[in-house]
Structure 1
């Protein structure tokens, strides 16, 4: 994929480290069951997002699973790959990743790396030994909440503090979409990321969405396409690919970056001790 170095770094961080404000997004989700049956819709766009969450399985249904373990595979067009075993506890948003292959994430560290977030602290181990390097730990502070957020994104689109705007109806191929813009509240003047969802009018699912990476100065969108799989009563977007686009969801001719979630298992009996360094 022939892209400038800066943009290559942006694309790499989008999934393996992603955005600073992802941490802010994940912290705001309540751990108790959402009273979604009492929601008062802000507008049509909010209602469409709600209908989508009911189709895939809302946050209450997700946290009822207690925890998840799965294999995360990320591959760029140059063939470099990350493969990690991911573990999350939904109550408290605890996150752990064990990388046997990490050609994109902390590639300078040979051997196995483990990343964790125990609810209050981020930590890193290399071949079983704690790493205290501040630069490496900053990468962990990106990866852990980012990977968690992407896995739970469809449910978290009903988080408090989100703004919804109905953009238009758009036909792509033979599919008609309701296009919805989602933005995030901010307490400062920093630009926040935009998510533009393409909600299939027939299935109520988000087949694809546009997103920005403002923390890296990337205001032009990337397009994410997804394929869902039913797992334990939830619809999970397990097959993903993304690349540069425009706001009409017209992509470039560049190759796709590929992401797969496999071997997904809920209710594994994980405890907080499993996330301690």
Structure 2
């Protein structure tokens, strides 16, 4: 082994065994919690860590404080949700002002505004609060999902995640490390499963399979992503997904698209925006 390779191996091992490093983790509160960075679980965990070194970590998002961007969610029938999304990363506060809502609560006519203040989810139509149970459940799902898709790559080092390296596979001429990700749950609650395809050349996730157990979707969905570097963070500003099998074969070439643009970090958002 060459001297340079030996030194790299030593540095990498020292990193994996270090217990003193700290990383800021946010939960669904308004507090920032410091916890000890866990030791590497296995090869899958190491590959995900390596990926976040390219995309940026959640701590990097916390350092940028907040964000505002234009978001379009478009289904194959060309119906759209178009919203101005605003997030504060510490506490995962979330707000959306809708320019169009043809897919989310289309039965509610008028200008829609929805948010999460760190405790409660809420929705307003033309400035008036809507308290219908089904509407609140829809908003809860949308606020959580929009935030997670935006910050997913940075959040893949959150606590209570289990990683498993499955195999290497060649897909359309590119070699991928495939890592299974599952989330620790309580009791008999089912967990979503993610299967990441990490490009061995770029260390980035080019595509992944996922389930949505909360919506009774246990067959895999394939998500493909494209990145954009904004303020040193790699964001998946273009995403599209469709039904597939567990080998990532597309079952029908019909896609839902998600487009993020006009991204602006560190906008000094007031927390009052997120309260109803």
Do they superpose with TM above 0.5?
yes
1:226 counterpart residue number: 225
- Using the alignment, how far apart are the partners of 2:100 and 2:60 within structure 1? 32
Contact 1:33 1:60 in 2 (8 A): no
- The farther-off stretch of 51-60 and 183-192 is 183-192
- 1:204-237 Cα distance to aligned partner (Å, 9 max, x none): 0000000012223222100000000011111001
Query: Is residue 28–residue 118 contact of structure 2 (8 Å, CA) maintained in 1?
Result: no
CA distance in 1, matches of 2:243, 2:141: 21
Residue in 2 aligned with 1:40? 39
In 1, are the aligned partners of 2:242 and 2:252 still within 8 Å (CA)?
no
**Contact 1:29-1:160 within 8 A present in 2 as well:** no
1:56 aligned residue: 55
Aligned to 1:31: 32
Question: Residue 171 of structure 1: SS of its match in structure 2?
Answer: strand
* Corresponding pairs, count: 251
Pair 1:151 & 2:150 matched:
yes
Where do 5+ consecutive residues of structure 1 fail to align? 1-24
Name the structure, 1 or 2, with higher relative contact order (CA <8 Å, separation 6+): 1
CA separation of 1:136 and 1:230: change in aligned 2, threshold 3 A:
same
Distance in 2 between residues matched to 1:33 and 1:57, nearest whole Å = 18
Aligned twin of 1:206: 205
List structure 1 runs of 4+ shifted beyond 4 angstroms: 32-35
Question: In structure 1, what is the equivalent of residue 104 of structure 2?
Answer: 105
Residue 68 of structure 1 corresponds to 67
Helix, strand or coil at the partner of 2:64: coil
For residues 226 and 193 of structure 1, the distance between their equivalents in structure 2, rounded to whole angstroms, comes to 19
Aligned to 2:12: none
2:29–2:119: 8 Å Cα contact kept in structure 1? no
Range 120-129 or range 156-165, more displaced = 120-129
The structure with more strand, counted as a fraction of residues: 2
Contact 1:28–1:160, Cα closer than 8 Å, also in 2: no
Q: Is the 8 A contact 2:30 2:90 kept in 1?
A: no
RMSD: 1.8
In structure 1, the residue matched to 2:15 is: none
- Offset, 1:139: 1.1
Counterpart contact for 2:65–2:265, Cα < 8 Å:
yes
Matched residues in 2 for 1:94 and 1:29: separation? 8
Shift of residue 39, structure 1, vs aligned partner = 4.4
Aligned-partner Cα distance in 2 for 1:199–1:29: 32
1:171 aligns with 2:167: no
